[in-house]
Structure 1
Amino acid sequence: MKHNSDIEKRRTFAIISHPDAGKTTLTEKLLLFGGAIQTAGAVKNNKIKKTATSDFMEIEKQRGISVATSVMAFEYLNKQINILDTPGHKDFAEDTYRTLTAVDSVILIIDCANGVEAQTKRLMEVCRMRKTPVIIFINKLDREGRESFDLLDELEEILKIKVCPLSWPIGIGATFKGVYNIYSKELNLFAANKTKISEEVIQIEDVNSSDLDEQIGNNEADLLREELDLVSGVYDHFNREDYLSGEVAPVFFGSAINNFGVKELLEAFLDISPSPLGRETDMGFIEPNDKKFSGFIFKIHANLDPKHRDRIAFLRIVSGKFERNTFYNHVRLDKKIKFANPTSFMAQDKSVIDEAFPGDVIGLYDTGTFKIGDSLTEGSEFSFKGIPSFSPEIFMELENKDPMKSKQLEKGIQQLTDEGVAQLFIQQPGNRKIVGTVGQLQFDVIAYRLEHEYGAKCAFTPKRYFKACWMTTDNQKELEQFIKAKSVYIAKDKDDNFVFLAETPFLLQMAQADYPNIKFHFTSDFKVGIEN
């Protein structure tokens, strides 16, 4: 059936890493191979004055970091590839965690000099929790770095996942000559090339052949043979099922900035990675080949194009076929909606589509109808599970610096918190706005966007809160007593749920002990049973 073949040809994945490991650079080079762009911009290179294709927000261009997930689609070798390029900075980890709910697999980038870093570890924990298949790309082999076996040991020890090298480097830094592709039995010789695609691949089925010595020299060939023997002795033979179940991570080596090792990574990825997978709902599991359409919103972005005050909700299609100008059921609102201009993305470039299939990520123009986690279906009444939202770590009170712009400030902070940039808690009396984030940098982004997108200036005053706790109980009287007793620390979130803003771990423990019939939740997703 055509529908099944449309599903099978799709690959939807995220690229994740610690900041500066080369994530956005690798994304660009994959787009280069796919013909989606013609030349690669140099990330954070002031001489060239270009910014990365996927970094479209002005503040991202200024700081040289990705702070919002970008979606890019292109075709390569008859596969429809959907890349979600995520923020690497820890302050925007929550956006990355949500993005991981929308993908079927992940490419994790490791800097060969730095190895496993803090953010890498946190991201891998989320992948392991969701059993997401992971391929690891060890980057920057053209620079001096750590010994390959040491890196693999560290990956297994810290990330708690078995690894399986599918390519192997020949030298490193000044002595880097290329990689031997174990998976396809090819030798790829290194040539520094930042903007074009290298085609120099030599087929060497037998590494004991003298052809290898002629290509890289006797000493390097002997060392490569010795290391490949050790690889085959230490690491299990690649098993795709183990990879798909998230138990084993294939490893590739290369240099993204030089387009080296990227083609091997991409082609092996297309060969072994999963086609679109189903998702769990509150009414059971939904398979991608189910005939009826369904999908969920995992990201919302206002003012994607500053020239047009648009707001776009990013929808991951789970099952069926999405069609333009067709009415679908917005489950939370119990409302029928149709979309005249659904779009696909190439970073900031958008094009209207008539149809889309499981695995695709499309943009829906939104007038404030959607919230993160909303489900769209073809009539069915179910909601998808597992869109993570965490208790903030930093809390600040929002202050309006220009009373004449109160309406703009109100609209801006509502839209930004709908996007998931931060969480908003309203305290009474006085309608005081407490903004909670997982990182300090988010406040800079909020202030910048409020001023430049909404014309509203603000300031932030730190608040000493430990956690935001949502509350559920079967004892309504006890909840009312608690809210009255703790009124100074009670707020409401944007969905009108009561939230207890605990000042310290001790005061939270006291509240739990004094009010045993109230359950305190550290995520707003308590209704679907997700805790952290």
Structure 2
Amino acid sequence: MSATEDARSAVGGGDPVQQARRRRTFAVISHPDAGKSTLTEALALHARVLSEAGAVHGKAGRRGVVSDWLAMERARGISITSAALQFGYDDCVINLLDTPGHADFSEDTYRVLSAVDSAVMLLDAAKGLEPQTLKLFDVCRHRGIPVITFINKWDRPGRAALELCDELSERIGLSPMPLTWPVGEAGHFRGVLDREAGGFVGYERQAGGAQLAAQQRLSAEQAAAEIGAEWQQAVEESELLSADGADLDIAAFNEASATPVLFGSAVRNFGVGQLLDVLVRLAPQPGPRADVRGKSRPLEAPFSAFVFKVQTGMDPAHRDRVAFARVCSGEFERGMVVTHAATGRPFATKYAQQVFGRQRDTVETAYPGDVVGLVNASALGVGDTLYAGKPAVEFPGMPSFAPEHFAVARTSDPGRAKQFRRGIEQLSQEGVVQVLHSQTRGEGAPVLAAVGPMQFDVATHRMESEFRAPIELERLPYRVVRLVGDESQRPRLQTRTSEVFDRPDGSALAAFTDDIALRSLIRLHPELDLRHVVADAE
């Protein structure tokens, strides 16, 4: 049975409210190289939708991970695009969104976090909280997303467990509530103390970690007799945690002020099963979502959804375009005709699919919390709303981050000008890069703007591999941007150290070489109406 067939078998019938209670929609967030894609693979393995877990670098003859399917991802061993995986587990439907860990792809991760109800924060046992993890957690805090923490790589040398927990409370103000506690220091992992049940869960290594790790369960008395000092130390540390008020408080978790903590090793499949069980038991189910007016859309209202990601190139044979939509209310039925809020036009949903990495299968129904892939959705863009019935509904759009890197794009093959224009438009609609236009440079020289320079690598690779339209990039020196509040002031913003660009939404963006150039121009023209580019993530 395929992953999507397994998920559908868990769906069944019923009204949207009942079905929403069975959904768990979450993202995995982390700093690069913390093991995020490996954890995603291990979760799918434990849910029995994979027979063998892949490896990020394909070592020891293992295949690559399902969620990292782009050629660049497999070559570099990092996630550079988000991926949606859906599968059934324990009478629930799991919607797991893997996110890019690299800071250069923060916009993609932000969009994913707008579509989930909770998050798993993955920490490296040796490194703890790292810069990108801190940024992503700030987004979760801002949006009130509850977070479960999984401390990974406990099979390798690392820091002390108590020290890592203290870091959570001291650096980000999140109270740790360990549900499991490691028996054996990092690098000498024997298993975990189940702090709720009181027993010991031990693990037997599997060669390479491709298969499920066998578990050994012992009572506290058996563990004390067989393991000895390491078990006793874990018990004493667990008692200290209880005395410090670090036991599970579900209300504090739902308020996003405390985090359940688990320890394990994703590559060895240690502790992953417990994490999946905790997600099913504790992670919040989908709830009403606020529209642009701040009014909550009830789950039982007619179908509505918003697009949080657009992706092309998932099927090289057809080079189709898939819009990923998070269902917010009602029941989705394949073939239904809904309204595209941005245009008011009807949109047919004949080609609707559930997604497992690059693998896809037709979906007939979906409910709040589910992610539906709408194929050949050329009319849909990131942030768009779809709805059925009346009255109309529109959910908040996706803000653009302030870009920090700019480059003029030109085709290196004049005979591919048509493909060049189509490819640039496609990258803009997907949000791979921001595409700006300059009145002085002309339409044939669009300016690509990015949060991080690696986005340029992705854009260049996709233009050549998907559109057969290789491009040349001329880097521009700009690093600071402001929105132009008064269009009549454009001439004063065209200087040796600044330039004005037009954005697809009709607004104008002034780019400066640095803060000094910005301040100098404001001193010269204090009447300038320049505004910060503010995203919800800030």
TM-score by length of 1: 0.93
Do the aligned residues in 1 keep the contact of 2:320 with 2:375 (CA within 8 Å)? yes
Matching residue of 1:202: 217
What's the CA shift for 1:436? 0.7
Matching residue of 1:371: 381
Matching residue of 1:215: 226
Do the aligned residues in 1 keep the contact of 2:29 with 2:120 (CA within 8 Å)? yes
Residue 414 and residue 81 in structure 1: after superposition, are their counterparts in 2 closer, same or farther (change >3 A)? same
The amino acid of 1:161's aligned partner reads L
Matching residue of 2:126: 113
CA displacement, residues 233-266 of structure 1 (integer Å, 9 cap, x when unaligned): 1233211111011100110001111111011111
Matching residue of 1:475: none
**2:520 matched to 1:502?**
no
**2:48 matched to 1:48?**
no
Separation (CA, whole Å) in 2 of partners of 1:160 and 1:221:
29
Separation (CA, whole Å) in 2 of partners of 1:322 and 1:470:
39
CA displacement, residues 55-101 of structure 1 (integer Å, 9 cap, x when unaligned): 11111111111111000000110000000001111111110111100
Do the aligned residues in 1 keep the contact of 2:62 with 2:210 (CA within 8 Å)? no
**2:275 matched to 1:268?**
no
What's the CA shift for 1:410? 1.1
Do the aligned residues in 2 keep the contact of 1:42 with 1:48 (CA within 8 Å)? no
- Partner of residue 421 from structure 1, selected from 406, 427, 432: 432
Separation (CA, whole Å) in 1 of partners of 2:231 and 2:488:
76
CA displacement, residues 29-54 of structure 1 (integer Å, 9 cap, x when unaligned): 11011121110112213442621111
- Which runs of 5 or more residues in structure 1 are unaligned? 473-478
CA displacement, residues 266-321 of structure 1 (integer Å, 9 cap, x when unaligned): 10121011001232212333345232111111111011111112001110111111
Name whichever of 500-509 and 241-250 sits farther off.
500-509
- Partner of residue 307 from structure 1, selected from 301, 311, 317: 317
Separation (CA, whole Å) in 2 of partners of 1:82 and 1:183:
26
What's the CA shift for 1:203? 5.4
Matching residue of 2:115: 102
Residue 499 and residue 184 in structure 1: after superposition, are their counterparts in 2 closer, same or farther (change >3 A)? same
Matching residue of 2:255: 245
Separation (CA, whole Å) in 2 of partners of 1:2 and 1:201:
40
CA displacement, residues 414-450 of structure 1 (integer Å, 9 cap, x when unaligned): 1112111110111123223111111111111111110
Do the aligned residues in 2 keep the contact of 1:7 with 1:359 (CA within 8 Å)? yes
- Which runs of 5 or more residues in structure 2 are unaligned? 1-13
What's the CA shift for 1:521? 3.8
- Partner of residue 407 from structure 2, selected from 396, 411, 427: 396
Matching residue of 1:476: none
What's the CA shift for 1:9? 0.2
**2:294 matched to 1:284?**
yes
Do the aligned residues in 1 keep the contact of 2:20 with 2:285 (CA within 8 Å)? yes
3-state DSSP of counterpart to 2:50: coil
What's the CA shift for 1:366? 3.4
**2:395 matched to 1:384?**
yes
Alignment of 1:11-90 (within 5 A): 11-48=24-61, 50-90=63-103
Matching residue of 1:443: 456
The amino acid of 2:473's aligned partner reads F
Do the aligned residues in 2 keep the contact of 1:521 with 1:531 (CA within 8 Å)? no
Matched residue pairs, number?
516
Alignment of 1:129-140 (within 5 A): 129-140=142-153
3-state DSSP of counterpart to 1:190: strand
What's the CA shift for 1:483? 1.6
What's the CA shift for 1:383? 2.1
Do the aligned residues in 1 keep the contact of 2:489 with 2:528 (CA within 8 Å)? no
What's the CA shift for 1:24? 0.6
Do the aligned residues in 2 keep the contact of 1:286 with 1:319 (CA within 8 Å)? no
Residue 433 and residue 233 in structure 1: after superposition, are their counterparts in 2 closer, same or farther (change >3 A)? same
Do the aligned residues in 1 keep the contact of 2:139 with 2:537 (CA within 8 Å)? no
Alignment of 1:334-373 (within 5 A): 334-373=344-383
Separation (CA, whole Å) in 1 of partners of 2:372 and 2:521:
44
What's the CA shift for 1:512? 6.0
Residue 153 and residue 41 in structure 1: after superposition, are their counterparts in 2 closer, same or farther (change >3 A)? same
Do the aligned residues in 2 keep the contact of 1:329 with 1:380 (CA within 8 Å)? no
Do the aligned residues in 1 keep the contact of 2:384 with 2:397 (CA within 8 Å)? no
3-state DSSP of counterpart to 1:384: coil
TM-score by length of 2: 0.92
What's the CA shift for 1:517? 7.6
3-state DSSP of counterpart to 1:372: coil
What's the CA shift for 1:190? 2.3
What's the CA shift for 1:327? 1.4
Separation (CA, whole Å) in 2 of partners of 1:395 and 1:483:
19
- Partner of residue 91 from structure 1, selected from 104, 110, 113: 104
Separation (CA, whole Å) in 2 of partners of 1:203 and 1:461:
63
Matching residue of 2:447: 434
The amino acid of 1:426's aligned partner reads H
Do the aligned residues in 1 keep the contact of 2:158 with 2:187 (CA within 8 Å)? no
- Partner of residue 492 from structure 1, selected from 486, 499, 502: 502
3-state DSSP of counterpart to 2:446: strand
3-state DSSP of counterpart to 2:295: strand
Do the aligned residues in 2 keep the contact of 1:7 with 1:288 (CA within 8 Å)? no
**2:495 matched to 1:482?**
no
Separation (CA, whole Å) in 2 of partners of 1:47 and 1:223:
36
Residue 464 and residue 276 in structure 1: after superposition, are their counterparts in 2 closer, same or farther (change >3 A)? same
Separation (CA, whole Å) in 1 of partners of 2:305 and 2:519:
39
**2:185 matched to 1:172?**
yes
What's the CA shift for 1:487? 4.3
CA displacement, residues 186-210 of structure 1 (integer Å, 9 cap, x when unaligned): 3111211212223524253xx4xx3
The amino acid of 1:456's aligned partner reads A
Name whichever of 60-69 and 376-385 sits farther off.
376-385
Name whichever of 7-16 and 380-389 sits farther off.
380-389
